[in-house]
């Protein structure tokens, strides 16, 4: 079932949503240190009041590939054909998109009453159906955060993959892949503010957002924000925050549009004696969201972190197709966090000479090359990016 969701854990908010638990703050400290190699900043006055990723990093508006329309079967048919798989990947996707979930709906029916009369009644009944919103919104969101938009068609074994096809393969590759959860369930506005201002503001890095606190789950990439502070005092500040994110498109295209949407938040932040954010609460006119997250490097289906993925697509083959569709200079400037490659640089002696002198703040999407340490392309691309790694700094 390719649900267009990342399921949030059930989290019971603290009493009035004012003070963050010590564990919440420490969890953010650990995540940021792990992924950025530096500390998250909680001081309100030191965080950027507005930020937006570079123009060439603005996420493209991808397609959610609804389950009701067969998901990513169009791209997977080509994949099967190119790699002589019959219909293995396509058949897996067809089964996955046809799995049903219980849905409760209100049904009306008419019953005779008296002599020649009738009366309409309603009742609730549970049926099994694929909800219209099930799809690949988190797969597309992950792909557009981690990868530059495919630009050129790529041929494999006589089969031509258009940029649209490549986007479909990327969305399928990420649909069940592991993410780093930055916030979920009830998100204290103090945490919301700190995560967005540190990731998008200080890091200029897009993050995923699950935008609907209801039963439906809709994921989009955040890439900018602006905030207005008002009612300021030493112990608190009110904030109007506008978040800019990429909306999905109605269909996939070789050249995707950039459809910008906004969410508007209004909240009160509590500050300690040092001006650090310690909690807060939302005002009634504020938007709410369910999750903030960042995608990690894709893993092979069946591995821990992608147990439910399509076992008939090869991650390295898809990444190689994507690399051939995007100019090398554009890939070389595409920075993102990735603890998998941090560990690889630290542990693999073959890449010891590429280790930055300081902890790498980010690693690059163009390093999404083969896992094989002997891959000459991997060595060349990583070497070319060493200077970029060393020059990236967290303000």
Q: What is the mean pLDDT of residues 114-131?
A: 67
* Whether 139 contacts 175, CB under 8 Å: yes
> How many angstroms separate the CA atoms of 201 and 198, rounded?
5
The pLDDT of residue 100? 57
Give ∠ CA 42-196-276 in degrees, rounded to 5.
15
- Is 313 within 8 Å of 322 (Cβ atoms)? no
Q: Which pLDDT belongs to residue 364?
A: 42
* pLDDT band, residue 154 (cuts 50/70/90): very high
pLDDT score of 113: 61
Q: Which of 284, 300, 326 is the last residue of a domain?
A: 326
Query: Is there a single domain that holds both residue 331 and residue 319?
Result: no
Q: Are 179 and 351 in contact (CB under 8 A)?
A: no
Tokens coding 136: 């690949």
Domain membership of residue 109 (yes or no) is no
Statement: residue 365 has pLDDT above 80: no
* Residue in the structure block whose two tokens are 């564990």: 23
Residues 311 and 360 in one domain: no
Q: What is the pLDDT of residue 386?
A: 41
Last residue of a domain, one of 326, 349, 379: 326
pLDDT of 114 above 70: no
Is residue 219, in this structure, part of any structural domain at all?
Answer: yes
Residue 234 in any domain: the answer is yes
Rounded Cα distance between 125 and 233, Å, is 53
pLDDT band at 77 (very low <50, low <70, confident <90, very high): very high
Residues 84 and 15 in one domain: yes
Does residue 387 sit in helix, strand or coil? helix
**Which stretch of 51-65, 226-240, 359-373 has the lowest confidence by average pLDDT?**
359-373
Lowest-confidence region among 79-88, 172-181, 211-220, 375-384 = 375-384
Q: Is the domain of 284 the same as that of 385?
A: no
C-alpha to C-alpha distance for 266 and 242, rounded to whole angstroms: 9
Give the per-residue pLDDT at 318. Answer: 97
- Among candidates 212, 231, 209, 228, which has minimal Cα distance to 220? 209
Task: For 116, list phi and psi in degrees, rounded to 5.
Answer: 80, 5
Residue 133, pLDDT > 90, answer no
Taking the complete model, does pTM exceed 0.85, yes or no?
no
Q: 309 and 359, same structural domain?
A: no
- Is the domain of 291 the same as that of 213? yes
Instruction: Residue 273: give the domain boundaries.
Output: 1-104+123-326
**pLDDT greater at residue 99 or residue 293:** 293
> Best-predicted range by mean pLDDT among 89-93, 95-99, 339-343, 366-370?
89-93
Please say which residue of 326, 351, 384 terminates a domain.
Answer: 326
State the sign of the Cα–Cα–Cα–Cα dihedral 198, 200, 206, 210: positive
Q: How many domains are contained in the chain?
A: 2
Measured CA distances, 230 to 93, 157, 237, 275 (Å): 50, 61, 6, 15
Residues 290 and 355 in one domain: no
**198: which 2 tokens?**
């540190």
Both 166 and 262 in one domain: the answer is yes
Average pLDDT over residues 270-289: 96
What's the pLDDT score for residue 6? Answer: 58
Q: Can you tell me the distance from the alpha carbon of 93 to that of 2, in angstroms, rounded to the nearest whole number?
A: 9
Q: Which residues pair with 106 in a beta bridge?
A: 124
pLDDT for the residue 375: 39
pLDDT tens-digit readout, 200-254: 999 999 999 998 887 778 899 999 999 999 999 999 999 999 999 999 998 989 9
The reply to whether 128 and 208 lie within a common domain is: yes
Helix, strand, coil content of the chain in percent (nearest 5): 35, 25, 40
The pLDDT assigned to 362 comes to 44
Instruction: Answer yes or no: is pLDDT of 338 > 70.
Output: yes
Element (H, E) at 111: strand 101-113
Domain check: are 344 and 203 in the same one?
no
Task: Give tens-digit pLDDT for 303-328.
Answer: 999 999 999 999 999 999 999 999 99
Q: What is the mean pLDDT of residues 271-289?
A: 96
Rg (CA), the chain: 23
Question: From CA 107, how far away is CA 120, in angstroms rounded?
Answer: 10
* pLDDT of the residue at 125: 65
């Amino acid at each position: 079932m390719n649900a267009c969701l990342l399921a949030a854990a059930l989290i019971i908010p603290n009493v009035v949503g004012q003070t963050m638990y010590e564990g919440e703050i420490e969890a953010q400290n650990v995540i940021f240190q792990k992924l950025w190699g530096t500390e998250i900043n909680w001081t309100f006055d030191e965080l950027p009041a507005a930020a937006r990723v570079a123009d060439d990093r603005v996420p493209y508006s991808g397609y959610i590939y609804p389950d009701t329309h067969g998901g990513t079967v169009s791209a997977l048919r080509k994949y099967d054909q190119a790699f002589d798989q019959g219909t293995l990947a396509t058949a897996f996707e067809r089964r996955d998109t046809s799995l049903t979930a219980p849905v409760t709906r209100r049904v009306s029916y008419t019953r005779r009453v008296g002599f020649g009369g009738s009366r309409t009644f309603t009742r609730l009944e549970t049926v099994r159906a694929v909800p219209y919103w099930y799809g690949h919104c988190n797969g597309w969101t992950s792909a557009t955060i981690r990868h530059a938009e495919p630009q050129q068609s790529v041929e494999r074994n006589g089969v031509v993959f258009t940029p649209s096809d490549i986007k479909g393969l990327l969305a399928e590759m990420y649909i069940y892949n592991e993410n780093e959860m930055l916030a979920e369930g009830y998100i204290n506005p103090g945490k919301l503010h700190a995560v967005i201002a540190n990731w998008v503001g200080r890091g200029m890095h897009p993050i995923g957002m699950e935008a609907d606190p209801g039963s439906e789950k809709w994921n989009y990439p955040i890439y900018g924000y602006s905030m207005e502070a008002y009612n300021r005092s030493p112990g608190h500040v009110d904030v109007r925050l506008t978040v800019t994110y990429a909306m999905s498109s109605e269909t996939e295209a070789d050249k995707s549009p950039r459809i910008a949407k906004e969410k508007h938040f209004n909240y009160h932040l509590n500050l300690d004696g040092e001006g650090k954010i310690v909690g807060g609460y939302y005002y009634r006119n504020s938007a709410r969201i369910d999750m903030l997250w960042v995608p990690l490097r894709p893993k092979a289906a069946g591995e821990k972190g992608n147990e439910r993925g399509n076992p008939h697509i090869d991650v390295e083959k898809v990444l190689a197709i994507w690399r051939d569709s995007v100019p090398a200079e554009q890939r070389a400037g595409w920075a993102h966090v990735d603890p998998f490659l941090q560990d690889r640089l630290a542990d693999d002696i073959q890449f010891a000479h590429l280790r930055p002198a300081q902890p790498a703040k980010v690693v690059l999407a163009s390093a999404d090359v083969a896992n094989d340490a002997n891959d000459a392309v991997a060595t060349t691309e990583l070497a070319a990016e060493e200077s970029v790694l060393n020059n990236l700094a967290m303000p």
